[in-house]
Structures are given as structure tokens and as C-alpha cells.
Amino acid sequence: MAMTRRQRGVAFRRAQYALLFVIIVVVALTANWPQIGRAFFDLDVAAAQFPDVITVALKNTIVFTALGFALGLVLGLVLALMRLSSVAPYRWFARAYIEFFRGLPALLIFLAVGIGIPTAFPGVLLPRNASIMVSLGIVSAAYMAETIRAGIQAVPAGQVEAARSLGMSQGRAMVTIVIPQAFRIILPPLANELIMLTKDSSLAFLLGSTPLQQELAQFSRQALLEARGLTPIVVAGLCYLVITIPLSILQQRLEKKYGAGVPGGAK
């Protein structure tokens, strides 16, 4: 007797649960748990990472992310306004910038800033934090520009028309009416961009560093050379989660409060 659609759905779910149970049993029986414990969860090695992993690596990661996000947000807003400009060269430049930098890996941008600027402008040597801010800002601006542009376009045209009818100029209406409403719409995707920047900050090692300038990824790599096992990576991963999980929760709450936002800056 043929099964109904509901019965087939129940049977399929049961098969999935059974497969998951088999996988868990196989992993539990075949894994070398003592070796895993020594390699990944050595408490003595983990304790040796503190307090430097917090006071140096985690702090630097947060600082680098904040610097890159601040520059990216400002530059992204300028690019978004250029994309919407009635002046054709502005639109062409903004579109070329966005397509170019969204198509390049962040790693190449770090190398270009760290090596290219001193090469192109002899005698010009940016401070390390400035180089990191520029590198992260250049990349994030390309994504945030499209998100901001989509947010601006999502504001009802009637808002601008009402402001103009009250005697506001186009520029004043944009600054006081449109942009504040647009940012309310795009808060969730901007929070997601902040999470992405947190992970991209791991590329700061390409610009060189002293022990006091290391972010989480470089700190854990250095610790691997001095410690047995992979526990430093676990510690660094947990520190990243200390940053990203609250941001993810914030993003979800913003989506519930303001809606899902716009997908214009999705990577």
C-alpha cells in the first residue's frame, strides 16, 4: 500500500534521525578522545595564554575592527551618494570602485596598502593602525556602499516630496530625512558586515607586528610555536566567538525590530 505524503515525510525525518545517530555513534567509537583532549583542551596551555590573549590580542582585534568599520561606513556612505548622483562621472567612479574592490580578496588589499603605498609614494609610511584601518575600510566600503544605496532607495519617495514641499533643499532632505531612515533599514546588514570585518582583521599580520600589536589569529599562531597541541587555536576561536556571538544576537534583534534590512551588501 502506497504511503501518503504525510507518511513519507515522517519516514524521511526518521531516516535522517537514524543517519545522524549512526554518525554520532561511529565518531564516538572511533575517535581517540584522550588524544583529542591533550591536543585541543590542555588546560595548562590554555591558562598560559591569559591574560595576554585578552589584554593584547582580543583588544587589538576589536580596535582594528572598529577602525575599519568607521572608515568603511563613512566611505561607503559617500560612494552610495555618488551612485545615486545625477552627475554621471560620480556614478561611474562609484560603480567602478564597488565592482573592483568587491572582486578582490582582502588579502591583496592588505598587501597593496602595506607595500604599494610606500612604493608609489616614496617616504610615505603609514602608521600600522592607519594601514589596517585603510585596508579594512577600503574593502568594507565597497559592500556597505551597496547596502546604504539600497537602504536610501527603500525610503518612500513621498518622504522627500513632503520635505521639499516644506521648503527643504534636496541636500537637507537627504541628510535630515532620508539618510536617518535608510540607516534604520540597513542596521541588520551593517551588523553582519561588522562580523565579517572582525574575521578579516586576522589579515593584519601581513603588515608585520610586535608582540603587543598582535591580533587573535597571529597571537594563536605564535602560541602554537611555543606550546604543544592545538589548544591556542581553541582559545583564539572562543575569543572570536566572544565578539561575533553578541553581534549575531544584536543582528537578529535588529531584524526583528526593523525588519530583515536589505541584501545589497551581502558577500
Instruction: Note the pLDDT tens digit of each residue in 179-234.
Output: 888 888 888 888 888 999 998 998 888 887 788 888 998 888 888 888 777 888 89
- In sequence order, what DSSP letters do the residues of 167-223 get, joined into one string? T--HHHHIIIIIHHHHHHHHHHHHHHHHHHHHHHGGGGGGG---GGG--HHHHHHHH
- Percent of the chain clearing pLDDT 70 (strictly above): 96
- CA atoms of 107 and 23, how far apart (whole Å): 37
Over residues 166-178, the pLDDT tens digits come to: 777 777 777 778 8
Q: pTM above the 0.75 mark?
A: yes
> What cell was used for 42?
590542555
The residue count of the chain comes to: 267
Four-CA torsion 193, 184, 258, 76, nearest 10 degrees: -20
- CA atoms of 242 and 219, how far apart (whole Å): 16
- Percent of the chain clearing pLDDT 90 (strictly above): 31
- pLDDT for 138 equals 93
Q: Are 76 and 140 in contact (CB under 8 A)?
A: yes
Q: Which of 217, 208, 231 is nearest to 131 (CA)?
A: 208
